[in-house]
């Protein structure tokens, strides 16, 4: 009887061992290809989503922030272990984590944090008392823990050649401006060493080249886009919620579109439904709002229906109009398709839009209108609107930082959109295709990639 | 005894979030009524409520009744159809954190907005790590057997239309004051082929062109404000997905498709006989009459042994997972059914949502125009026929 029991126990142990194969493995190199590129270590908001995405992948892997947003959209401790505010939310107090080793071997100090934050927030005032950092702002910032989780508030030190040095799971081991960046696991990361040894990110790769490399097993993870079919049957598509807004933004002080009736006519001429159905292949959502519904809850209040009759009437009321130039990111196939579709819609309303890719000879500020694809980094509506305001240099949207409820946020967004100098078109998810050998690839609630927790199967 | 206790505990756990919500609804309705009254002078009013959130039908019904009471208490009254006055469109929406209820108050050309936010309780079905919640919305309920139901404009909103196919007619409904009201019944004129398990399919194109398929019968027509259709005896193939990429010839004296296909994506044109199909972006799954689910990719067919599904499957899309298969269970027609959402990768199937239970067997399941929702027709065990809209929502 005892022998039978031992035999059963052995079988049970073997069964348990076979299930243990799903635990993460250490080692290996992840080869990631992306469209965007960056050539300097700048972390200011960027209206080019491809550039912003590749920069955020690297920045998030190298530098931590005081807070981090979890899968439910709630701020969690990161380099700060606790926080609270005083009064009306102008003053915030953060307790800094002890014993954080930076990738250059130094220990993080309150001065490290102040230097990083003050560079991006010149109007904030800082005071240190022991482990506690006090931040005073000119206006209440109810969403401060969300703001501090944004990439622009990464706690980085500038290295010898300006490259980022942080406390994150990877350090930059090689950087070729505009071409590639290689990351190496940082053994002393306070959250534990990353599972993969290295990550190589090839930049400036068109989607077609990415798909080609993926099919030839030269890449383990690539970006995907509604314009692209699934690269292989065995690949897995990873999608976030809609976290990028596609919009038209008029360049201020260009006389060609100074008549608001022309801007409104253009806004009403756009057939968002066909852009969503045909060009976006029903990924994301068509919208006339800056924030997607999952963040604000009120996006449906902005009328996104095409109204060609009104568009033509408004166009006819306006003065004679020359051709308007519309610039888009030449590396973004989807942007080109949308720009072309918008110009067709505009022509039906009697407006001539000339789509042109951005180039050194024709910069975005030369154009009357820009097609922007802007990543919304925060799931907090106030922070997200303010971040869009920062990227577009729009003071009305920046007021959202002090908003405390949906009524106020709607008022801010409505104010910013009412003169049609910004015309939202759609919201798009972030999406990647990954090889079957890559596991635990997780996109954050706002589309951020967490390279520290993914792992790879060993080569067979 | 232990089994009974466990059952009661389970029922209690499932009902708990809903009861908490129901307790909150009167105070929420009072707050919304108050905000509406702050922005407009009370008078004659008509109200439409559109639910875009995960609130249940019961909660919406309670809210409607509470809100009307609260508005009446503040001096509002229902306006007659000929009377001018205020129109209020209320949308029950949600962000990932809160319920967001918006009221658009129209007085002539003037639009005022009132917004109310409330923390969204984490419902039992949402507290899991499932990436998708399969939301279930009751569309209509009927004593007459329903074969299929379709939203004409693909949405539920004031003035929108819905059609229902029965064995002898096509019915047209319109959303009026938040209720689907029957506005027209158009007889088919010709009886479909006899079957002990009669099936039918409604297919809407461009929000107005309607095709109705029954065994050996094909009806075509147009919906404007009214419905006009013409039927003829025919063995025309039926669309098996949300579009006409693949059409299947229906065995008119049986209850399945005979496996002969047509259409631009029909590949080699023949598969094993099947009850239903899920047309995904890169493959088609067929629920075979032998109980097996087969996957066809680039003309190659493979069995999916892991698919323990019933005979009803349909494909839908969502923003977080592109291809989703909604499948009924393997219960027979004597038992209640449930629909579950799955993601498909190679031959692997992953359940990505908690099952959505129904009060009886699912007798028909088809994707809606646009492919982002599906409609399930259920023969409830109480004897009524009910149509439900199934929407995969990303579990924020």
A227: left (phi over 0), alpha (psi -120 to 50) or beta: alpha
Smallest CA–CA distance from B112 into chain A, residue: A301
CA distance A215 to chain B (A): 16
Of B95, B345, B396, the CB nearest to A236: B345
The answer on pLDDT for B111 being more than 60 is yes
CATH number, span B16-119: 3.30.2300
- Do the two domains B16-119 and B132-394 of this chain adopt the same fold? no
Token pair for residue B200? 């039918």
Where is average pLDDT lowest: A123-132, A165-174, A213-222, B67-76? Answer: B67-76
Give DSSP secondary structure letters for B180-229: EEEEEEEE-SSPPPP-SS---EEEEETTTEEEEEETTEEEEEEESSSEEE
Angle at B137 between CA A430 and CA B285, to 5 degrees: 60
Domains and CATH numbers, chain A: 25-37+54-62+168-235+435-460 (3.40.190.10), 64-157 (3.90.76.10), 241-430 (3.10.105.10)
Q: Is B396 on the interface with A (CB under 8 A)?
A: yes
Contacts of B104 in chain A (CB under 8 A): 301
**pLDDT at residue B292, rounded to an integer:** 86
This prediction's pTM: 0.69
In this prediction, residue B182 has a pLDDT band, given cuts at 50, 70 and 90, of: very high
Helices (H), chain B: 2-39, 57-73
Asked if the model's pLDDT at residue A2 lies above 60, the reply is no
Helix, strand, or coil (residue A62)? helix
Lowest mean pLDDT among A130-144, B87-101, B334-348: B334-348
Residue of B nearest to A443 (CA): B320
Inter-chain touch B370–A300, beta carbons under 8 Å: no
- Angstrom distance (rounded) from CA B121 to CA B17: 7
Chain A residue whose CA is closest to B126: A72
Tell me which chain B residue has its CA closest to the CA of residue A442: B131
Q: 250-279 in A: which are within 8 Å (CB) of B?
A: 277
> What is the token pair recorded at B222?
């147009």
* B317 with A285: Cβ contact below 8 A: no
Strands A29-33 and A221-223: what pairing? parallel
Which stretch, A221-235, B19-33, B139-153, has highest mean pLDDT?
B139-153
Contact A389, A398 (CB under 8 A): yes
- Hey, which residues 53-72 in chain A have their CB within 8 Å of chain B? 72
Among A114-118, A155-159, B12-16, the least confident range:
B12-16
How near does any CA of chain A get to the CA of B325, in Å? 16
Residues in chain A closer than 8 A to B100 (CB atoms)? 296-298, 406
Distance (Å) from the alpha carbon of B232 to chain A's nearest alpha carbon: 33
- Which residues are CB-neighbours of A223 under 8 A, at least 6 positions away? A33, A34, A35, A53, A207, A210, A431, A432, A433
DSSP per-residue letters across B66-114: HHHHHHHHTT-EEPPTT---EEEEEEEEE-SSEEEEEEEEEETTEEEEE
* A294/B115 CB distance under 8 A: no
Q: Which one of B100, B281, B394 has the shortest CB-CB distance to A297? A: B100
The shortest C-alpha distance from A365 to chain B (Å) reads 33
For residue B81, the model assigns a pLDDT of: 67
Placement of tokens 């027609």 in the chain: B333
Domain B132-394 architecture: 7 Propeller (2.130)
pLDDT confidence of residue A198: 97
Neighbours of A131 (CB within 10 A): 14
**CA Rg value for chain A:** 24
- Report pLDDT for A57: 95
| Shortest CA gap A428–chain B (Å) | 9
Is A233 at the interface with chain B, CB within 8 A? yes
Give the Cβ contact number of residue B198 at 10 Å: 16
> Which residue matches tokens 């809903």?
B18
- Chain A contact present for B241, CB below 8 A: no
- The mean per-residue pLDDT over the stretch B344-354 comes to 79
pLDDT of B15 reads: 37
B369 contacts on A by Cβ (under 8 Å): none
Please name the member of A73, A284, A285 whose beta carbon is closest to the beta carbon of B96. Answer: A73
Tell me the per-residue pLDDT of A58-90, one tens digit each, with 9 for 90 and over. Answer: 999 999 999 999 888 889 999 999 999 998 899
Instruction: Indicate if ipTM > 0.90.
Output: no
First to last CA, chain B: 38
Q: Do A282 and B371 touch (CB under 8 A)?
A: yes
Contacts (Cβ under 8 Å, ≥6 apart) of B1: none
pLDDT in tens, B254-307: 889 999 999 988 876 899 999 999 999 888 999 988 878 899 888 888 888 777
Q: How far apart are CA A317 and CA A262, in angstroms?
A: 9
With CA atoms as reference, report the closest residue to A293 among A442, A419, A397, A413. A413
> Residue A148 in contact with residue A65, Cβ under 8 Å?
yes
Residue B396 and residue A297: Cβ atoms within 8 Å?
Answer: no
Distances (CA, A) of B233 to B20, B112, B186, B219: 54, 54, 17, 9
Average pLDDT rounded to a whole number, residues A216-238: 84
- For residue B124, pLDDT over 50 is answered with no
Q: How far apart are the C-alpha atoms of B218 and B230, rounded to whole Å? A: 8
Cβ contact B100–A229 (<8 Å):
no
The two beta strands, A75-77 and A125-129, are: unpaired
pLDDT at B284 (0 to 100): 92
Condensed to tens digits (0 to 9), the pLDDT of residues A297-319 reads 999 999 999 999 999 999 999 87
Interchain pair A445, B396: CB under 8 A: yes
DSSP A251: P
% of residues, chain A, pLDDT over 70: 95
Confidence band of B369 (pLDDT split at 50, 70, 90): confident
Q: What share of chain B is helix, strand, coil (3-state, %, to 5)?
A: 15, 45, 40
User: How wide is the angle at C-alpha A133 spanned by C-alphas A130 and A134, nearest 5°?
Assistant: 125
Element (H, E) at A396: helix A395-398
Chain A CA closest to residue B102: A298
Q: Which residues of B touch A429 (CB under 8 A)?
A: 319-320
CB-CB under 8 Å, A233 with B297 = yes
B209-250 pLDDT, tens digit each: 999 999 999 999 999 888 999 999 999 999 999 888 899 999
| B256 three-class SS | coil
Beta pairing partners, B386: B141, B378
Say which residue, A210 or A234, is predicted with more confidence.
A210
The domain segmentation of chain B, as residue ranges, is 16-119, 132-394
8 A C-beta contact, residue A131 and residue A96: yes
Residue whose structure tokens are 């999952």? A294
Q: In the prediction, which pLDDT does B206 show?
A: 83
For A186-275, where are the E strands, in sequence order? Answer: 198-202, 221-223, 236-250
Contact A429 B99 (CB under 8 A): no
- Taking the C-alpha atoms of residue B299 and residue B279, their distance in angstroms, rounded to an integer, is 14
Distance in Å, alpha carbon of B117 to nearest chain A alpha carbon: 7
Interval A406-428 mean pLDDT:
96
Instruction: Return the number of other C-beta atoms located less than 10 Å from residue B58's C-beta.
Output: 12
Residues of chain A in contact with residue B156, where contact means CB-CB under 8 angstroms, are: none
Give the pLDDT of residue B56.
83
Answer whether A460's CB lies under 8 Å from A217's CB.
no
Residue A340's pLDDT is 97
Question: In this complex, do B96 and A295 lie within 8 Å of one another by their Cβ atoms?
Answer: yes
pLDDT greater than 60 at residue B13 = no
Given a cut of 70, is residue A116 above it in pLDDT?
A: yes
Chain A partners of B98 at a C-beta cutoff of 8 Å?
297, 406
Cα of A139 to nearest chain B Cα, Å? 23
Residues A310, A429: Cα–Cα separation, whole Å:
31
Query: Whole-angstrom Cα distance, residue A263 to residue B321?
Result: 36
- Chain B residue whose CA is closest to A293: B95
Which residues of A, range 286-305, sit inside 8 Å of B by Cβ? 293-298, 300-301
Q: What is the pLDDT of residue B3?
A: 43
Please state the φ and ψ torsions of residue A383, each to the nearest 5 degrees.
-65, -40
Q: Mean pLDDT across the stretch A319-336?
A: 87
Measured in angstroms, the CA of B319 and the nearest CA of chain A are apart by 5
Q: Decide if B273 contacts B316 (C-beta within 8 A).
A: no
Quote the CA–CA distance of B58 and B19 in Å, as a whole number.
11
What pLDDT does A13 receive?
A: 40
pLDDT of A460: 58
**Arithmetic mean of pLDDT, A144-152:** 95
């Amino acid at each position: 009887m005892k022998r039978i029991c031992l035999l059963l126990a052995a079988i049970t142990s073997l069964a348990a061992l076979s299930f243990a194969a799903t635990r993460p493995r250490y080692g290996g190199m992840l080869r990631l290809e992306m469209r965007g590129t960056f050539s300097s270590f700048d972390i200011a908001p960027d209206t080019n989503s491809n550039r912003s995405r590749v920069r955020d992948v690297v920045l998030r892997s190298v530098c931590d922030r005081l807070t981090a947003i979890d899968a439910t959209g709630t701020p969690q401790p990161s380099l700060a272990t606790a926080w609270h505010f005083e009064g009306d939310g102008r003053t915030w107090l953060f307790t800094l984590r002890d014993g954080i080793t930076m990738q250059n071997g130094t220990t993080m100090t309150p001065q490290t944090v102040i230097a990083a934050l003050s560079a991006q927030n010149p109007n904030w005032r800082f005071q240190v008392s022991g482990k506690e950092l006090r931040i005073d702002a000119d206006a209440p910032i109810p969403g401060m823990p969300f703001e501090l989780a944004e990439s622009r508030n990464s706690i980085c030190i500038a290295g010898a050649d300006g490259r980022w040095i942080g406390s994150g799971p990877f350090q930059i081991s090689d950087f070729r401006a505009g071409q590639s960046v290689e990351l190496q696991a940082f053994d002393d990361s306070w959250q534990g060493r990353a599972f993969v040894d290295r990550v190589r990110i090839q930049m400036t790769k068109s989607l077609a080249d990415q798909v080609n490399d993926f099919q030839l097993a030269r890449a383990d993870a690539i970006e995907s886009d509604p314009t692209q079919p699934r690269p292989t049957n065995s690949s897995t598509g990873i999608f976030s919620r809609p976290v990028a807004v596609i919009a038209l933004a008029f360049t201020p002080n260009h006389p060609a579109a100074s008549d608001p009736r022309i801007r409104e006519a253009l806004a009403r001429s756009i057939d968002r439904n066909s852009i969503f159905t045909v060009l976006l292949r029903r990924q994301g959502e068509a919208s006339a709002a800056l924030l997607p519904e999952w963040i604000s809850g009120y996006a449906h209040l902005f009328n996104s229906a095409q109204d060609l009759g009104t568009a033509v009437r408004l166009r006819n009321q306006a003065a004679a109009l020359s051709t308007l130039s519309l610039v888009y990111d030449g590396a973004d196939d989807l942007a080109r398709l949308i720009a072309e579709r918008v110009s067709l819609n505009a022509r039906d309303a009697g407006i001539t839009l000339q789509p042109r890719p951005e180039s050194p000879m024709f910069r975005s500020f030369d154009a009357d209108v820009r097609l922007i694809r802007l990543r919304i980094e925060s799931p907090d509506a106030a922070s997200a609107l303010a971040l869009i305001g920062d990227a577009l240099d729009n003071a009305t949207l920046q007021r959202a930082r002090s908003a405390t409820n949906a009524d106020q946020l709607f008022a801010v967004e409505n104010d910013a959109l009412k003169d049609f100098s910004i015309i939202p078109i759609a919201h798009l998810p972030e999406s990647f295709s990954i090889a079957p050998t890559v596991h635990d690839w997780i996109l954050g609630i706002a589309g951020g990639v967490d390279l520290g927790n993914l792992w790879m199967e060993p080569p067979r | 005894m232990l089994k009974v206790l466990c059952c009661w505990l389970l029922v209690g756990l499932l009902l708990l979030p809903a009861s908490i919500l129901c307790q909150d609804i009167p105070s929420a309705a009072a707050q919304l009524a108050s905000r509406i009254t702050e922005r407009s002078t009370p008078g004659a009013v008509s109200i439409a409520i559109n639910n875009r959130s995960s609130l249940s039908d019961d909660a919406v019904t309670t809210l409607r009744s509470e809100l009307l009471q609260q508005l009446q208490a503040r001096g509002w009254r229902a306006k007659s159809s000929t009377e001018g006055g205020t129109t209020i469109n209320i949308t029950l929406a949600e962000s990932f954190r809160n319920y967001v209820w918006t009221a658009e108050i129209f007085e002539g050309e003037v639009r005022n907005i009132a917004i109310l936010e409330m923390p969204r309780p984490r419902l039992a079905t949402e507290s899991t790590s499932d990436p998708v919640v399969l939301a279930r919305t009751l569309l209509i309920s009927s004593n007459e057997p329903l074969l299929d139901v379709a939203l004409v404009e693909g949405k539920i909103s004031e003035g929108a239309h819905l059609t229902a196919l029965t064995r002898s007619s096509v019915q047209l409904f319109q959303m009026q004051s938040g209720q689907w009201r029957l506005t027209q019944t158009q007889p088919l004129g010709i009886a479909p082929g006899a079957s002990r398990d009669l099936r039918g399919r409604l297919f809407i194109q461009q929000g107005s062109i309607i095709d109705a398929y029954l065994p050996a019968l094909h009806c075509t027509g147009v919906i404007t404000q009214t419905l006009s259709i013409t039927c003829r005896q025919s063995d025309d193939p039926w669309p098996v997905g949300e579009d006409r990429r693949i059409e299947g010839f229906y065995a008119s004296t049986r209850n399945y498709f005979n496996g002969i296909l047509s259409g631009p994506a029909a590949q080699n044109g023949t598969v094993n006989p099947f009850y239903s199909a899920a047309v995904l972006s890169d493959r088609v799954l067929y629920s075979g009459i032998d109980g097996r689910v087969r996957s066809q990719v680039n003309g190659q067919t493979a069995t999916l042994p892991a698919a323990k599904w019933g005979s009803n499957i349909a494909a839908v899309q969502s923003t977080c997972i592109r291809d989703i298969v909604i499948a009924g269970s393997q219960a027979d027609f004597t038992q209640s059914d449930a629909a579950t959402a799955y993601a498909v990768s190679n031959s692997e199937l992953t359940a990505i949502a908690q099952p959505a239970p129904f009060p009886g067997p699912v007798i028909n399941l088809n994707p809606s125009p646009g492919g982002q929702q599906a409609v399930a027709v259920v023969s409830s065990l109480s004897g009524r026929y009910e149509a439900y809209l199934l929407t995969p929502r990303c579990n924020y």
